[in-house]
Amino acid sequence: MNIQESILSGIQLAFQNIYNHDVALDQLSLAPTRKEFEGTYTFVVFPYLKVSQTTPENTANQIGEYLKSSVSVVKGFNVVKGFLNLELNELIWLDVFKQLYGNTDLGQLQPNGQKVMVEYSSPNTNKPLHLGHLRNNFLGYSVAEILKANGYEVTKANLVNDRGIHICKSMVAYQHFGNGETPESANLKGDHLAGKYYVIFDKEYKKQIEALKAEGQSEEDAKKNAPLLLEAQEMLRKWEANDEEVVSLWKQMNAWVYDGFAKTYEKMGVNFDKFYYESDTYLLGKDIVEEGLAKGVFFKKENGSVWVDLTDEGLDEKLVLRGDGTSVYITQDMGTADLKYHDFNLDKSVYVVGNEQDYHFDVLFKIMRKLGRPYGDGLYHLSYGMVDLPSGKMKSREGTVVDADDLMQEMVDTAAHHTKELGKIDGFNEEQAAELYETLGLGALKYFLLKVDPKKRMLFNPQESIEFQGNTGPFIQYSHARIKSILRKAEQIGVDFKNPDFSGITAVEESEAGLIFLLGDFEKKIKMAGDEYSPAVIAQYLFDLAKEYNRFYADLPIFLENNPSVLAFRVALSALTAATIKKGMSLLGINVPERM
């Protein structure tokens, strides 16, 4: 039984013995005591005044006295109105530390027997990845790692949007203006080459619209009648009819794009266990439409289109199949949801998609539950907000969106400039320095995008993200490197901190206890992050831990300690902090340097 469980059991007994009232353990909770008050944990008594039938102060004092006399870890208490602040026996923290230090599965909870898929990235194969994709990929990867740490069997999936009119637009432009250009001849990544022709299509299409308007057509008619658009529509029909020439070009251009994506994903530090392709899944779902009609979940209108009525769920009627028998997005997504379950027998399926698709996923999940799917209750949309940039901070290749490759490289370059200025690469050769810049630049980018609650729209400030002070990735990375330096020095002078003897320790200092308290919270934070699908929980925890370590180090200079047991303890405490930071940052997809 850990400290919190011991105290909560004591509070449960206090209610039984003082007030003759049973309270379930899961109805009781402790909060960390606020810094301005004495104590470690606080129990709030306000919700229980009907039980105690007395004032908040009396209730807190009565429970405090009971705990002080009955629970060995509680040394004393103080009461601030209805807040019972509990002061603990300092040496208890030594026992807590020993348990944590002996844990070989740091930050890994027991397997829970459940399977979950996290689907993220979902790029279109007509253009490169952009800033929005960075938040998506970092979120998806991190949530997958956090769920793994919570004991889930996790599959990372990527549903690639590799078909449709937008893909055909790039292909048509390439046919007209490409002149056989390849990524090699253009010295461009394949995804940037495809994106180049998507932009060319848009430019030439607008020219054609203006020409048709000059001939007297309305804007609406000109948009429909522009030859390039008609060609793209015809190309899509040919693709769906499996036209050999069109399919050959489609495969060639997609292959270029996938090669480009692979390089971007490698730089991002994300990966996938399973790829689904829209070209394979877009026809799925038509059988489900027939099933839904047979079950009375769907209904057919006079024009032959099929709909679902979700008014009883607070929504409206939603089209699931067009009158001509062609699929809409929801048709495909129903089929893909079944396919995922068939492939992996999932308990949960997490879709990492921007909040502009909130309504779509609300409809999809309600349909799958109405159809009685066994996985229906495990569907979850991890909806995230847009990322904005300070005006003028970053230039995009096409002037409209910020390219992911450009932004990542700019962050690495900024990290290099900043790190050289601060002189943090003394003794590094060129290769080591380049690796450090990459670690810091991408760490800054990922941390800044992940430290904000996913649901919130956010402003990404590149300059602020790279600072070595404040709530940033580099601050935590630097704290880790600093601790590793302490551990190397301890090894050089022969401190045995891997198997320390604590027998000579007679007291635990307040800043040591504060650090152990936070270290003991790691698994609780991992569980909270998993329950909330929020890497921001881990990011905030790591920032608090790095700050607490720096406070401990400032209060108690390690190598000025003369007692060998205390010295070994403090180095061991440093080692556990470094290991926790490393594990926590890995859950965010961030590497930490060994030295700086």
pLDDT, average across residues 305-332: 93
Would you say residue 474 has pLDDT above 70? yes
Two tokens, residue 219: 């804007």
How far is Cα 422 from Cα 424, in angstroms, rounded to an integer? 6
Q: Write out the DSSP string of 153-202.
A: EEEEEEEEB--SHHHHHHHHHHHHH-TT--HHHHT--HHHHHHHHHHHHH
State the pTM of this model.
0.91
Please name the amino acid found at residue 173.
A
Would you say residue 274 has pLDDT above 50? yes
How far is Cα 379 from Cα 68, in angstroms, rounded to an integer? 47
Look at residue 282 in the predicted model and tell me its pLDDT.
Answer: 86
How far is Cα 61 from Cα 51, in angstroms, rounded to an integer? 15
Two tokens, residue 213: 């308007």
Which range is least confidently modeled, 63-67, 376-380, 464-468, 482-486? 464-468
Which range is least confidently modeled, 37-41, 90-94, 391-395, 488-492? 391-395
Summarize pLDDT for 138-151 with one digit per residue, the tens: 999 999 999 999 99
pLDDT, average across residues 233-262: 96
Burial class (CB in 10 A: 0-12, 13-18, 19+), 27: exposed
**φ/ψ (deg, to 5) at 585:** -65, -35
Q: Residue 45: pLDDT band by 50, 70, 90 thresholds?
A: very high
pLDDT, average across residues 88-101: 89
Summarize pLDDT for 189-247 with one digit per residue, the tens: 999 999 999 999 999 999 999 999 999 999 999 999 999 999 999 999 999 999 999 99
Give Cα separations from 434 to 182, 262, 287, 355, 469 (angstroms): 30, 21, 54, 37, 22
Triad 141, 143, 146: Cα angle to 5° = 110
Where b means 16+ CB within 10 Å and e means fewer, 500-518 reads bebeebeebeebbbbbbbb
The more confident residue out of 468 and 174 is 174
User: Alpha carbon 385 to chain centroid distance?
Assistant: 13
pLDDT, average across residues 515-539: 96
Domain boundaries, the chain: 3-88, 404-588
173 neighbors 197 (Cβ within 8 angstroms): yes
Would you say residue 170 has pLDDT above 60? yes
Summarize pLDDT for 367-425 with one digit per residue, the tens: 999 999 999 999 999 999 998 877 654 444 445 678 999 999 999 999 999 888 887 77
Asked: is 404-588 a CATH 1.10.3720.10 domain? The reply is no
Summarize pLDDT for 57-76 with one digit per residue, the tens: 999 999 999 999 999 999 99
Q: Residue 573: pLDDT band by 50, 70, 90 thresholds?
A: very high
Would you say residue 102 has pLDDT above 90? no
Look at residue 397 in the predicted model and tell me its pLDDT.
Answer: 46
Q: By C-alpha distance, which of 444, 452, 438, 439 is closest to 387?
A: 452
Which range is least confidently modeled, 146-150, 340-344, 511-515, 583-587? 511-515
Look at residue 422 in the predicted model and tell me its pLDDT.
Answer: 82
Fold for 3-88, please state it.
Answer: Gyrase A; domain 2 (3.30.1360)
3-state secondary structure 1-61: CCHHHHHHHHHHHHHHHHHCCCCCHHHCCCEECCCCCCCCEEEECHHHHHHHCCCHHHHHH
pLDDT, average across residues 115-123: 97
Would you say residue 21 has pLDDT above 60? yes
Average pLDDT over all residues of the chain: 93
Two tokens, residue 313: 């769920």
3-state secondary structure 244-269: HHHHHHHHHHHHHHHHHHHHHHHHHC
Would you say residue 305 has pLDDT above 90? yes
Would you say residue 533 has pLDDT above 60? yes
Which residues 6+ apart lie within 8 Å of 574 measured at CB? Answer: 483, 486, 487, 497, 549, 553, 558
Would you say residue 352 has pLDDT above 80? yes
Residue 307, classed as helix, strand or coil, is: strand
Q: Write out the DSSP string of 308-345.
A: EE-GGGTS-EEEEE-TTS---HHHHHHHHHHHHHHHH-
Look at residue 396 in the predicted model and tell me its pLDDT.
Answer: 43
